[in-house]
Amino acid sequence: MLAQKHQKLTDFIWNVANKLRGRFRPPQYHKVMLPMIVLRRLDCVLESTKDAVLAEHERLKAAWRSAEVTGKLLSKHRHKAG
């Protein structure tokens, strides 16, 4: 079962890589794949606080906070939640 999940994930990753290869030459792969991997990792790590952060973002937007202040407050909120 675990091997099946691993294979499915591997196939998915290679499928995405094959789609990207059409637009990029081999020397350019690292410019695309590494940032995507980092973004996905951040998405996974922050998943547990995502709903709370989005709700807080909406609350701050409704309070007419500037983008800079909102970012600082959300960062503070993230550290309290984690």
Which residues have C-beta within 8 Å of that of residue 34, sequence separation ≥ 6? none
The span from the CA of 53 to the CA of 55, in Å, is 5
pLDDT in tens, 58-74: 887 777 767 777 777 77
pLDDT at 59: 83
Is the CB of residue 21 less than 8 Å from the CB of residue 29? Answer: yes
pLDDT at 35: 86
pTM of the entire structure? 0.45
